[in-house]
Amino acid sequence: MRKVSQFALPEPNRSRDGTGRTTQPDPPVRSSGAGDRTGDVQSRIAHIWHEILEVYPASGTANFFELGGHSLLAARMLARVEATFGKRIPLIKLLREPTLDGLAQLLHVDEAALADHQVIPIQRRGTRPPIFAINNTGLFFPLASRLGQGQPFIALQRYDPDAPETIKPRTFEEIAADYVHIIRRVQPKGPYILIGLCVRGALAYEIAQQLAREGEKIALLIMIDTWAPGYLPRLPRLHRMFADLSYRVQVFRTQVAMTGHGRKGRLRYIACRVAEKLHLMRRPVEDDDWYHPHLVHALRSYRPKPYAGRVLLLARQDQPKGPFLDADLGWSDLLTGWYRLELLPAVPNTRSNGAETVLHLAMFREPGVDVMATHIMSAMEDRAEKSSEVPDSRRRNRGTTNAYTTPAGT
């Protein structure tokens, strides 16, 4: 049994309820022992949740993120809470107290110093090695719930999403080294399990590289919708041109088709994308919005080295494909050990405004998140398969690519 330091895991006061929802317009919210004042606050918060999530929390233990929320909706919800109650609740506190009861209690307590924003224990229980998620904290609540009470799940954030800072440009390797330090503070020795989405998947890759060079065992590296950084520049010029064009055309068609708003919605989506290109509006990014450009800038000059550890690649099943695009998301020349590529279904986000990262969010709703959890549990249970030979299964599912991180990794 691997010990996990409790220094970095402050006890959260919450209970997740992944099924605690109802579509009835105004059901009573069942408080878990709160007084009348707190009950009134809960009811008002529940109405806000209902307006934003289009589902009504059935009890005080209902979890905002497991009811369909994500960080973009969380920001909207917290703004409504501040307008209603006159008190600002930072996103970092909601991530620690994501239930209806927890949020109501936060509105009653005096402002205090924030707990460590770098370590968010999404699931504390269990004796297995914890899964360390790199950023995107809000997205991982549904996944952690489906992995079960016996699997610890910890989200890591180098910077506070509520406190933008002026920081100097740093290399991708330097950023990864910061996360290595945080991980070792929580769990001094391996084995480690790492997971990251999109650009953060590439960051998890470099973190795994650094831990491995320090002699630690990486039980599993999970990268979701992550293209190998520098893939396009490695291609011959003509091949690179056709691959880039094929990718961009197919991604655009997929994004437009998934808006789910009919002709007007698609036109609005196209208008949003044009406005983004002209810098008339900014596209939101999950959880660490202000820091995302710094991470992308560092990724552009990052050139990953080959990796011999176990890797699970997860990708959307309707991503671009074709003769010009690598079937393994550009990783086939870098992953020298066991790896497997699995495809995930994704349901369109009918409440998207066209500017959200629709395709990423879709994977973390049903049925995508259920399939994701199944593949992760299978890969973790399959650790006994330690053959140095690369199995044929790693090259099935050809013709897939990532819908948000470009093949160049930028």
Answer yes or no: do 92 and 151 share one domain. no
Opening angle at CA 142, ends 138 and 145, nearest 5 = 120
Structure tokens at 341: 């590529």
Domain boundary among 88, 106, 124: 106
| pLDDT for position 268 | 67
Answer yes or no: do 171 and 26 share one domain. no
Answer yes or no: do 102 and 152 share one domain. no
Mean of all residue pLDDT scores within the chain = 76
Residue with tokens 């093949």: 407
Answer yes or no: do 153 and 26 share one domain. no
Answer yes or no: do 94 and 139 share one domain. no
**pLDDT tens digits for range 204-236:** 999 999 999 999 999 999 999 898 998 777 777
When pLDDT is cut at 50, 70 and 90, the band that residue 282 belongs to is low
What is the CB-side half-sphere exposure of residue 142 using CA atoms within 13 A? 24
Domain boundary among 55, 90, 106: 106
| pLDDT for position 109 | 63
Domain assignment present for 181: yes
Structural domain for 207, as ranges:
134-395
When pLDDT is cut at 50, 70 and 90, the band that residue 304 belongs to is very high
Answer yes or no: do 278 and 315 share one domain. yes
Answer yes or no: do 190 and 291 share one domain. yes
Answer yes or no: do 210 and 341 share one domain. yes
Answer yes or no: do 79 and 158 share one domain. no
Dist CA 70 CA 338 (whole Å): 32
Identify the CATH number of the domain in which residue 54 sits: 1.10.1200.10
Cα 122 off chain centre by: 12
Residue 20 has pLDDT above 50, yes or no: no
Answer yes or no: do 60 and 185 share one domain. no
